[in-house]
Amino acid sequence: MNATKVTFTPYEKFVIAILSMLQFTVIVDFMVLSPLGAILMPEMGISTAQFGLVVSAYAISAGVSGLLAAGFADRFDRKKMLLFFYVGFVLGTLFCGVVNSYRLLLLARIFTGIFGGVIGSISFAIITDIFRMEVRGRVMGFVQMAFSASQVLGIPIGIYLAARFDWHAPFLMIVSVAAPVGITIFWKLRPVTAHLHGREEKNAFVHLWHTASNSFYLRGFMATMLLATGGFMIMPFSSAFLVNNVLIPETHLSLIFFITGLVSIFTGPILGRVSDSLGKYRLFVFGSVLSMVMVFVYTNLGPNPIWVVILINTILWIGISSRMISSSALTSGVPDMQDRGAYMGINSAIQQVSGGIASFVSGLIVYQPTRSAPLQHYDIVGYVTICTMILTVIMMYFIDRRISAKLHVAHA
| Residue range(s) defining the domain that contains residue 184 | 9-411
- Taking all residues of the chain, what is their mean pLDDT, rounded to a whole number? 82
Q: Single out the residue of 128, 173, 127, 166 nearest to residue 150, CA to CA.
A: 173
Computed on alpha carbons and rounded to an integer, the radius of gyration of the chain in Å comes to 20
Asked if 221 and 347 touch (Cβ cutoff 8 Å), the reply is yes
Classify the phi-psi angles of 367: left when phi > 0, otherwise alpha if psi is within -120 to 50, otherwise beta: beta
Q: Single out the residue of 116, 386, 339 nearest to residue 218, CA to CA.
A: 339
Domain for residue 1, yes or no? no
Question: How much is the pTM?
Answer: 0.71
Q: Which amino acid is at 225?
A: M
Phi, psi (5° rounding) for residue 376? -105, 145
Number of domains in the chain: 1
What are the pLDDT digits (tens) for 136-166?
778 877 777 776 677 666 667 777 788 788 8
- Between 15-19, 188-192, 234-238, 337-341, the lowest mean confidence (pLDDT) is in 337-341
pLDDT of residue 94: 95
Domain for residue 4, yes or no? no
| Average pLDDT estimate for 90-97 | 93
The confidence band for 377, taking pLDDT boundaries of 50, 70 and 90, is: confident
Phi, psi (5° rounding) for residue 367? -135, 135
Q: Exposed (0-12), middle (13-18) or buried (19+): which is 190, by Cβ within 10 Å?
A: exposed
What are the pLDDT digits (tens) for 97-132?
888 888 898 999 999 998 987 888 788 888 888 887
200: pLDDT strictly greater than 60: no
Asked if 344 and 71 touch (Cβ cutoff 8 Å), the reply is no
Alpha-carbon distances of 46 from 42, 248, 337, rounded to whole Å: 7, 22, 46
Phi, psi (5° rounding) for residue 303? -55, 130
22: pLDDT strictly greater than 50: yes
Domain for residue 126, yes or no? yes
87: pLDDT strictly greater than 80: yes
397: pLDDT strictly greater than 50: yes
- Between 25-29, 152-156, 378-382, the lowest mean confidence (pLDDT) is in 152-156
| Average pLDDT estimate for 337-341 | 71
25: pLDDT strictly greater than 80: yes
Asked if 23 and 143 touch (Cβ cutoff 8 Å), the reply is yes
Side-chain-facing half-sphere of 273: CA atoms under 13 Å? 9
Domain for residue 48, yes or no? yes
Q: How far is CA 52 from the centre of its chain?
A: 17
171: pLDDT strictly greater than 80: yes
pLDDT of residue 3: 43
The CATH number of residue 249's host domain is 1.20.1250.20
pLDDT of residue 258: 79
Neighbours of 77 (CB within 10 A): 14
| Average pLDDT estimate for 246-261 | 81
Whole-angstrom distance, CA of residue 365 vs CA of residue 382: 11
Above pLDDT 70, what percent of the chain?
A: 89
- Helix H segments across 165-252? 169-188, 204-212, 215-234, 238-244
Whole-angstrom distance, CA of residue 58 vs CA of residue 40: 16
The confidence band for 288, taking pLDDT boundaries of 50, 70 and 90, is: very high
| Average pLDDT estimate for 369-396 | 87
Asked if 229 and 358 touch (Cβ cutoff 8 Å), the reply is yes
261: pLDDT strictly greater than 70: yes
Residue 411 CB contacts under 8 Å (≥ 6 apart), including other chains: none
312: pLDDT strictly greater than 50: yes
- Which one has a higher pLDDT value, 117 or 35? 117
Side-chain-facing half-sphere of 262: CA atoms under 13 Å? 9
pLDDT of residue 86: 95
| Count, residues in the chain | 412
Q: Single out the residue of 407, 137, 139 nearest to residue 274, CA to CA.
A: 137
The confidence band for 199, taking pLDDT boundaries of 50, 70 and 90, is: low
Domain for residue 2, yes or no? no
Asked if 356 and 344 touch (Cβ cutoff 8 Å), the reply is no
322: pLDDT strictly greater than 60: yes
pLDDT of residue 2: 44
